[in-house]
Structures are given as C-alpha cells and as structure tokens.
Amino acid sequence: MNKNLYIELLFLIFLGAITSLSLPPFNYWIVNFFTFTLLFYILFKKIYIKKNKISYFLYGWSFGFGYFISNLYWVSISLTFDSSFNYLIPFSIFLLPAFFGIFYGLISFFFIIAKSNKIISSFLFFSLIFGILEFVRGFLFTGFPWNLIVYSLSNQLEFLSILSITGTYGLNLLCISLFTSPALLLFRYSKKNISLLAFFIFLHFFFYIHGIFYEDKFNSAEKIKYDYKVRVLASNIGIDRFFTNIDTVSVINDLIELSEPNKNEKTIFVWPEGILPDVSQKELIEYDWLFNEKFSENHLLILGINSQSYQNGHENYFNSLSLYDYKLNLLKSYNKIKLVPFGEFLPFKEFLSRIGLRAITNQHHSFSKGKKREIIEIKKNNFSIRILPLICYEIIYSGKIFDDNNFDLIINISEDGWFGDSIGPRQHFAHSIFRAIESGKYIIRSSNNGITAIINPLGNIEQIVDFGKSGYIDYNENKKIQPTVFSIYGNKIFGFLILLYIFFIFSFNRFKNE
C-alpha cells in the first residue's frame, strides 16, 4: 500500500471514532452529518480510481474499526474479574472491532464495485447497502445489533415515535440517508439534489410532528390502576460475589431490606438477573426462613437465578427468570434463549475449549439455550397480569422478542456489573427505550450495577434509579395503546423500505443527468 492510502485509512479510522460521539451516553448526533457525508464523499471519489479491490474493502473496514474500537472497548472489562482471562483483554479490544468492521468493509466494497457515477442513485445505494448489512450484523452468528447509528437519536423521543411503525432497522436506514444527504450538494448543486436533501429533512420533520400527536394520544388514554404494585429493585452488589466467598445469607438480607416489604401491601417484587451467588432455582426454598418475617401471602417474587436440568445423563444449566410465591414455591420460569457468546456459552466449544477458552460466567460452564420465550401470566385472586420476560442481552433484538403481542408489559432483568462504570451499561439501557416504542408496551427494567427504570410506550422514563445508586421504584398503573404497526408486522416493514429504495434507485438510473 502506498503512503496516500495509509493516510486515507487513518483518516477513516478517525472519522469512525468521531462518529461514536453520537451514541449514548454522549448523543452528539449532529457529528453524523459530518462523518457520514465525508465517508460517502471519499467512497464516491474512489469509483473513478482503479485500485486493488482489497483497498475498496479497507476503506469501509477502517471506518468501522474506528467506530467500534471507540464504543465497544468496555467489553474487555468483563475479562478483568478473573485473572485467568486477562491475557484475552488485548484480543477483545482489537479483534471485536476488527470483526464488526468487516460489515462496514463490505459496504464500501459493494458500493465501489458497483461503479455508478450517478450521484442520487449512488447515494440511495449507499444507504441501502449500509442498512441491509447492519441488519445482517444483527442476525449473523447469533447477531449483535449493538450501536446501530439510529441509537444516536436515543434522546430525541419525538423523532423516535416513528419506531412504532418502521422499527429500529427501518429508521436506521432512513437515518443513514439523512446523515449522508448533505453529500448530495458537494457534487452537484442541482434541483434534484436539493429536492432529495429537502425530502429527507422534511421526512424527519414529519416524524417529529407524528411524535407530538402520538404523545397527545397516549396522554389522553385512560389510566388503569393495578390491584398489585410491581416494585422494581436497583442494587449495587459487587460482581466479585461470583469469584469470592461472599455470604449468600447477607446478600439475601440486603435485598430484602432494600425491597422494604410491607405485609399488608400487595406487591410483586422484581430483583435483577443472577443476583444470588451459589444458589440455584430449586435451592432458593432452603432460604425461606429469611423471608418468613417480612413476606406474606400478599407478595410474589420475580428474580434472575440459575436453574438446572438433567437429560440423558447430562446436566444442563440455564439463565432463568423465575416467579415464586411468598413461601418460595416456584410458580413459573423462563429460560433465556439468546445467550451471550463467550460470556454465557462458548461457541465452537469442541475446538475452542482445546485451546483453553471457557465461558466467563456460571463458573466457566456454558449455559444451555431455552426452547421458547413464552408469556408468563401472573394470577392472584382477582388480579391478572401478562408479562413478557427478557433477560439482560435479549432486550437488544429488534423484531425478535415476541410473536404474540397479547401481553401487558415487558420485564427486563439485567446484571451490568461486568462492564464497570463505562459507557456499556448506558448503551445497554438505550435499547430498552427503543423496544418500548416498537412494542407499544411499558418496560420494567431491574438492574444490578446498572440503570433501573420504568419506561412507557413513548420511550419516556417515568421513574428511574440511576447508575451507581440503589433503591426501588413502584409501578401500579398502566395506559394501554393500540398494538403498534411494528408489533404486528415486525421487520417486514424494513423489507418494504428496501423494496422502496430499490425502486427509486432504478428510477433515478433512468435519467441521463441526475
């Protein structure tokens, strides 16, 4: 590679890193107009220059590497709790961004190889291929749809209301077009280019207007009071409980004290994921004596706890969300179906275990995948509520969290302590806002070492216990809205937008002079 190419690649790494500032918790989304416009400008100029096809790939890969290395560094923090994983820290810092950069490399490769010198159709094709490959990134190899560029709008709730129709991938595609649209004026100051730029600006202004009316409609909806209140716990119990001899009794006592149960108040307590060290789902009843003094028949308990089953002489471990009565009898349970690669299970186990790799959690044993996510119905006397259970990482999957939208609210439990005081827990929390708007449901989130909140279907945070704090929040009323378009059709909406972009690409290609 010549010197000029090295300089270009370094500049693209810098552009990718700058783009990370648009994401939570910074949300300087305005920088995307600068970085995406420059990225498109550089790639479009390369159409006229004959180079090795590998360099086509390296342009996008460099941008992606800079983007991901600056916003996924926190993954390496999970390797610091067990000294046997320390040698993997440099690999996690560099290899993960290098891998996810491949998707961005394919964007530039396909864009340049297509070699269209028509600006508008090239602009639309760039947006389309970017949006499709981000969708592929969210599904391939179990998928990791983290930090799509649309998450830079996490604080712009009026704009985000359109998620109820488009879903995250659909809006991500439109945002890529919006942020890239100033590039149209860098090449030709024509009526068509100005009109297309104005269209995308107006389109997002329409989203804003839609958000205002959507909010008014929600605010005018009738409130439904629950007979039971849901008390959502926020705790800060150290992650080292999994690696040291922390007394389980003291942890349970701390959680009960933090929950402040009142025997006369009808309450469903929600505790975070995997909160109790060295206690399995069936073993919890052995600690019923700790609950006897404070809990009554008015109480139910939901918490994240490991479970086990035996099949063909083999012991399977599950990361479970479990529902107990006040005597700690297990009523219902859900086993997590979307597991974290390397964290909760070791992919390609037969091969990777031979070179010393292990899962980070569950004392290095891989969790097994649950069979199906089913709605949990909680019935108590005349009270009934249907919840959709999501454990930690499962909240990040747009369009894949439910098939049946006949439920009342989503309960998401999480353990964010693996990532310390970094941007990771803040980014994780932002996904909850998107899922609430897409589904049109309230989301109750209970986190240890993270952010605990109640999020309404508009994406508004109605109550919160912020990062680094302990306490609880109560949920006892609901406002129901009609099922959202996205909750009915899911990512088919994204498919429709793909077809629409293809139609416009072919339409503009018919013009000799765009």
Instruction: Dump pLDDT digits (tens) for 254-286.
Output: 999 999 999 999 999 999 999 998 899 999 999
Residues 80-91 pLDDT 10s: 887 778 888 998
Can you read off the two tokens belonging to residue 411? 């309960």
Task: Say if residues 137 and 102 touch (Cβ distance below 8 Å).
Answer: no
pTM for the model stands at: 0.94
Residues 320-373 pLDDT 10s: 999 999 999 999 999 999 998 887 777 766 655 655 566 667 565 788 899 999
Cis before 24? omega within 30:
no
Task: Say if residues 304 and 359 touch (Cβ distance below 8 Å).
Answer: no
Residue-level pLDDT at 283: 94
Residues 24-73 pLDDT 10s: 999 999 999 999 999 999 999 887 776 778 999 999 999 999 999 999 99
Residue-level pLDDT at 382: 84
Long-range contacts of 354-361 (CB under 8 A, 24+ apart): 360/78, 360/79, 360/82, 360/85, 360/418, 361/242, 361/274
How big is the chain, counted in residues? 514
Residues 215-241 pLDDT 10s: 999 999 999 899 999 999 999 998 887
Q: Which residue has the higher pLDDT, 310 or 103?
A: 103
Fold classified for 223-480? Nitrilase/N-carbamoyl-D-aminoacid amidohydrolase (3.60.110)
Q: In the structure, what pLDDT confidence band is assigned to residue 157 with cuts at 50, 70 and 90?
A: very high
Long-range contacts of 489-494 (CB under 8 A, 24+ apart): 490/167, 490/399, 491/135, 491/167, 491/169, 491/170, 491/398, 491/399, 493/165, 493/166, 493/167, 493/170, 494/131, 494/135, 494/166, 494/167, 494/169, 494/170, 494/173, 494/399
Residue-level pLDDT at 514: 56
Per-residue pLDDT at 469 exceeds 80 = yes
Residue-level pLDDT at 351: 59
Q: Give residue for tokens 């000294």.
A: 83
- Provide the residue ranges of all domains of the chain, joining segments of one domain with +: 3-218+490-509, 223-480
